[in-house]
Amino acid sequence: KQEVTQIPAALSVPEGENLVLNCSFTDSAIYNLQWFRQDPGKGLTSLLLIQSSQREQTSGRLNASLDKSSGRSTLYIAASQPGDSATYLCAAPVNDYKLSFGAGTTVTVRA
Amino acid sequence: EAGVAQSPRYKIIEKRQSVAFWCNPISGHATLYWYQQILGQGPKLLIQFQNNGVVDDSQLPKDRFSAERLKGVDSTLKIQPAKLEDSAVYLCASSPGQGIGSDTQYFGPGTRLTVL
């Protein structure tokens, strides 16, 4: 069974500071890991998908790393902006088609 | 390209009443998912369809929840009768392929259900 944990549950930073969001998973035999963003009252938007063969994946100011051996992934957001305020969720595969989601980290970027 | 559409956006009902949610996936997407997201938790998969066949409904409370995907396009999720613990956001998502883990899932805005 794949269990995904995200700590902390909430984070508040001043604008311009770099963000570090953590995700841990129990079953390291994964073939990928995904990060999603969820805005209040909206669905999820896929941000990054890291294949197990990769160590990192980058998109703009976002960088995600994956360490299967330790069961951890980290999402870095550089030079945070108020528009980055949202809940960030990571998800690891349970099997070929099902994802197990963490509860998310709610980020507030103060102007 | 139009996104995943869901209706209604909000619904308030009394316990023991019935409710139905509707989802229209992105055109051409073969796989459709229904998730339940309770406040403070991540989404939990209720049911997954590939075209109009069920791939996984292992976490669907079948004594009260039902879902169908007619003609492999739109889908309806029904709860009858509702319980207080069904209060949650119900998310619909679709993906273009066979629903494998590497498929990007596109989510709708969700329906927020409150059971009083």
Task: Give the count of Cβ contacts less than 8 A between chain A and B.
Answer: 60
Task: Write out the residues of chain A at the interface with chain B, using a CB-CB cutoff of 8 A.
Answer: 4, 9, 31-32, 41-46, 49, 51, 89, 91, 93, 95-104
| Helix then strand then coil, % of chain A, to nearest 5 | 5, 55, 40
**pLDDT beyond 80 at A91:** yes
Place of tokens 């035999």: A29
Tell me whether B100 touches chain A (CB under 8 Å): yes
Give the bridge partners for B12, in sequence order: B114
User: Average pLDDT in the B86-111 region?
Assistant: 86
Residues of A in contact with B101 (CB under 8 A): 31-32, 93, 95-99
Q: Do B110 and A43 touch (CB under 8 A)?
A: yes
Sign for the CA dihedral angle at A15, A17, A18, A19 comes to negative
- 3-class secondary-structure state, position A83: helix
Whole-number pLDDT of residue B51: 87
Q: Do B101 and A41 touch (CB under 8 A)?
A: no
A interface mutation test: which of B46, B47, B100 has the most A CBs within 10 A? B100
A84: alpha, beta or left? (left if phi > 0; alpha if psi -120 to 50): alpha
**Residue of chain B nearest A97, judged by CA positions:** B100
**pLDDT beyond 70 at B101:** no
Whole-number pLDDT of residue B13: 98
How much is the mean pLDDT over chain B?
Answer: 92
Q: Do B43 and A104 touch (CB under 8 A)?
A: no
Q: Are A41 and B109 in contact (CB under 8 A)?
A: yes
DSSP annotation of B105: P
For residue B35, the surrounding DSSP H or E stretch is strand B31-37
Q: Are A2 and A92 in contact (CB under 8 A)?
A: yes
The whole-angstrom separation of Cα B106 and Cα B111 is 15
Q: Do B91 and A45 touch (CB under 8 A)?
A: no
Place of tokens 């023991």: B16
Whole-number pLDDT of residue A94: 85
**pLDDT beyond 70 at A12:** yes
The whole-angstrom separation of Cα A72 and Cα B33 is 26
- 3-class secondary-structure state, position B85: helix
Q: What angle do CA A94, A96, A97 make, to 5 degrees?
A: 80
Whole-number pLDDT of residue B99: 61
The whole-angstrom separation of Cα B32 and Cα B50 is 6
- 3-class secondary-structure state, position B20: strand
Identify the band that residue A30 occupies on the pLDDT scale cut at 50, 70 and 90. confident
